[in-house]
Structure 1
Amino acid sequence: MTIILPPYQDWINFRAHSHPNVVALEFSNGEIFTYAELDSAISKVTFVLNQNILDEDYPVAVLTQSSLEFSLLLHAIPRLGMSILPLNLRLKYEELLFQLREVNVRNLIVDEDHYEIGKKLAGNLGINLISSELILQNNEYEISGSKNMNAKDVHSIIYTSGTTGNPKAVMLTNENYYWSAVGSGENLGVNSDDRWLLCMPYYHIGGLSILMRSAIYGTSAVIHDGFNQQMVNFDLRKSSITLLSVVPTMLKRMLEFDTHKFPDTIRAVLVGGGPVSKTLLQEAQIRGLPVLQTYGLTEATSQISTLSSEDAIDKIGSAGKVLSINTLRIKKKFVENDVGEILVKGPTVTSGYLAQPDATQKIIVNGWLHTGDIGHLDEDGYLFISDRRDDLIVSGGENIYPAEIENVLANFKNVFEVAVVGFTDDEWGEKVVAVMVLNEKNLAIDVIKLKSYLSENLASYKHPRKIFIIDEELPRTASGKLQRYAVRMKFENDNFLIPIDLDLF
Structure 2
Amino acid sequence: MTYPNWLTQRAYVTGNQLALSFDEDNWTFAEINAIALDYAGKLAHFGITEQSRVALLAKSNAEAVFVMYGCLHIGCEMVMLNERLAAAELAYQIKDAGVDQVFVDAKLIEKVSSAKPVSFEQLKQAEPAEFNLMAEWEKDRTISIMYTSGTTGQPKGVRQTAENHFSSAVSSALNLGIAPDDVWLCTVPLFHISGFSILMRSLVYGMGVRLYDKFDASSCAEELCKGHVTHSSMVGVTLDQVLREIEQRELRVSSRFKQILAGGGPVPVSYLQRAEAHGIQVLQTYGMTETSSQTTTLQPADAKTKIGSAGKPLFLYQVKIDGANPGEAGEILIKGPQVTPGYIGRFKERTVQQDGWLATGDIGYLDAEGFLYVVDRRSDMLVSGGENVYPAEIENVLMAHPSVREAGVCAMADSKWGEVPAAFVVLEDPQMLEELADFCRGKLAGYKVPKLFKLVDELPRNASNKLLRRELKKWL
The interval holding the TM-score normalised by the smaller chain is: over 0.9
Alignment match of 1:322 (pick from 304, 313, 328): 313
What runs of 5+ residues in structure 1 fail to find an aligned partner?
A: 1-5, 123-128, 493-505
Pair 1:164 & 2:152 matched: yes
Instruction: For 1:475 and 1:304, locate their aligned partners in 2 and report how far apart those are by CA, in whole Å.
Output: 35
Instruction: For 1:272 and 1:65, locate their aligned partners in 2 and report how far apart those are by CA, in whole Å.
Output: 21
Alignment match of 1:457 (pick from 443, 451, 463): 443
Alignment match of 2:288 (pick from 293, 297, 301): 297
Q: Secondary structure at the match of 2:311?
A: strand
Pair 1:22 & 2:17 matched: yes
Instruction: For 1:243 and 1:53, locate their aligned partners in 2 and report how far apart those are by CA, in whole Å.
Output: 38
Alignment match of 1:354 (pick from 344, 348, 355): 344
CA contact (8 A) 2:410 2:421 kept: yes
Alignment match of 1:186 (pick from 167, 170, 174): 174
Instruction: For 1:244 and 1:55, locate their aligned partners in 2 and report how far apart those are by CA, in whole Å.
Output: 34
CA contact (8 A) 1:305 1:323 kept: yes
Q: Which residue of 2 aligns with 1:265?
A: 256
The one-letter code of the counterpart of 2:226 is K
Q: Secondary structure at the match of 2:394?
A: helix
Q: In the superposition, relative to structure 1, how do residues 32 and 142 fare at CA in structure 2: closer, same or farther (>3 Å)?
A: farther
Q: CA deviation at 1:13?
A: 0.6
Q: CA deviation at 1:258?
A: 3.3
Alignment match of 1:381 (pick from 348, 370, 376): 370
Instruction: For 1:164 and 1:317, locate their aligned partners in 2 and report how far apart those are by CA, in whole Å.
Output: 27
Q: Secondary structure at the match of 1:444?
A: helix
Q: Which residue of 1 aligns with 2:424?
A: 435
The number of equivalent residue pairs is 473
Alignment match of 1:477 (pick from 453, 462, 465): 462
Q: Which residue of 2 aligns with 1:445?
A: 432
Instruction: For 1:358 and 1:51, locate their aligned partners in 2 and report how far apart those are by CA, in whole Å.
Output: 30
Alignment match of 1:70 (pick from 59, 64, 67): 64
Give 1:1-40 correspondences, 5 Å limit: 8-27=3-22, 29-40=23-34
Instruction: For 1:427 and 1:252, locate their aligned partners in 2 and report how far apart those are by CA, in whole Å.
Output: 9
Q: Could you list the per-position Cα deviations for residues 60-82 of structure 1 after superposition, in whole angstroms to 9, with x for gaps in the alignment?
A: 00111252122112221132221
Instruction: For 2:34 and 2:59, locate their aligned partners in 1 and report how far apart those are by CA, in whole Å.
Output: 22
Q: In the superposition, relative to structure 1, how do residues 42 and 410 fare at CA in structure 2: closer, same or farther (>3 Å)?
A: same
Pair 1:199 & 2:199 matched: no
Q: CA deviation at 1:356?
A: 4.1
Give 1:25-174 correspondences, 5 Å limit: 25-27=20-22, 29-53=23-47, 57-122=51-116, 129-137=117-125, 145-146=133-134, 149-174=137-162
Q: Could you list the per-position Cα deviations for residues 267-310 of structure 1 after superposition, in whole angstroms to 9, with x for gaps in the alignment?
A: 11100011100111111111221100000011000010001112
Identify the range of structure 1 (320-329 vs 47-56) with the bigger mean alpha-carbon deviation.
47-56
Q: Which residue of 1 aligns with 2:389?
A: 400
CA contact (8 A) 2:159 2:340 kept: yes
Instruction: For 1:40 and 1:142, locate their aligned partners in 2 and report how far apart those are by CA, in whole Å.
Output: 15
The one-letter code of the counterpart of 1:341 is E
CA contact (8 A) 2:433 2:453 kept: no
Q: In the superposition, relative to structure 1, how do residues 93 and 186 fare at CA in structure 2: closer, same or farther (>3 Å)?
A: same
CA contact (8 A) 1:420 1:435 kept: yes
The one-letter code of the counterpart of 1:108 is V
Instruction: For 1:147 and 1:49, locate their aligned partners in 2 and report how far apart those are by CA, in whole Å.
Output: 17
Q: In the superposition, relative to structure 1, how do residues 484 and 301 fare at CA in structure 2: closer, same or farther (>3 Å)?
A: same
Identify the range of structure 1 (407-416 vs 99-108) with the bigger mean alpha-carbon deviation.
407-416
Q: CA deviation at 1:115?
A: 2.2
Identify the range of structure 1 (213-222 vs 418-427) with the bigger mean alpha-carbon deviation.
418-427
Q: Secondary structure at the match of 1:319?
A: coil
Instruction: For 1:121 and 1:141, locate their aligned partners in 2 and report how far apart those are by CA, in whole Å.
Output: 23
Q: Secondary structure at the match of 1:296?
A: strand
Give me the CA root mean square deviation: 2.0
Q: Secondary structure at the match of 2:19?
A: strand
Q: Could you list the per-position Cα deviations for residues 323-368 of structure 1 after superposition, in whole angstroms to 9, with x for gaps in the alignment?
A: 01111111135x793221110101000001112457732x421110
Instruction: For 1:359 and 1:435, locate their aligned partners in 2 and report how far apart those are by CA, in whole Å.
Output: 34
Q: Secondary structure at the match of 1:21?
A: coil
Q: In the superposition, relative to structure 1, how do residues 407 and 141 fare at CA in structure 2: closer, same or farther (>3 Å)?
A: closer
Alignment match of 2:229 (pick from 214, 221, 241): 241
The one-letter code of the counterpart of 2:188 is M
Q: In the superposition, relative to structure 1, how do residues 17 and 358 fare at CA in structure 2: closer, same or farther (>3 Å)?
A: closer
Q: Which residue of 2 aligns with 1:498?
A: none
Q: Secondary structure at the match of 2:416?
A: coil
Q: CA deviation at 1:139?
A: 6.6
Q: Which residue of 1 aligns with 2:398?
A: 409
Pair 1:280 & 2:271 matched: yes
Pair 1:217 & 2:196 matched: no
Alignment match of 1:177 (pick from 145, 149, 165): 165
Instruction: For 1:345 and 1:326, locate their aligned partners in 2 and report how far apart those are by CA, in whole Å.
Output: 6
Instruction: For 2:26 and 2:437, locate their aligned partners in 1 and report how far apart those are by CA, in whole Å.
Output: 42
The one-letter code of the counterpart of 1:152 is D
CA contact (8 A) 1:65 1:89 kept: yes
CA contact (8 A) 2:333 2:359 kept: yes
CA contact (8 A) 1:293 1:306 kept: yes
Q: Which residue of 2 aligns with 1:500?
A: none
Q: Which residue of 1 aligns with 2:332?
A: 342
Q: CA deviation at 1:185?
A: 0.3
Q: CA deviation at 1:315?
A: 1.2
Alignment match of 1:313 (pick from 285, 304, 307): 304
The one-letter code of the counterpart of 1:428 is W
Pair 1:332 & 2:318 matched: no
Q: Secondary structure at the match of 1:370?
A: strand
Runs of 4+ in 1 over 6 A off after TM superposition: 138-142
CA contact (8 A) 1:81 1:147 kept: no
Q: CA deviation at 1:53?
A: 2.8
CA contact (8 A) 1:435 1:468 kept: yes
Instruction: For 1:115 and 1:193, locate their aligned partners in 2 and report how far apart those are by CA, in whole Å.
Output: 37
CA contact (8 A) 1:80 1:147 kept: no
Instruction: For 1:328 and 1:140, locate their aligned partners in 2 and report how far apart those are by CA, in whole Å.
Output: 47
Q: Which residue of 2 aligns with 1:252?
A: 240
Q: CA deviation at 1:54?
A: 5.3
CA contact (8 A) 1:46 1:79 kept: yes
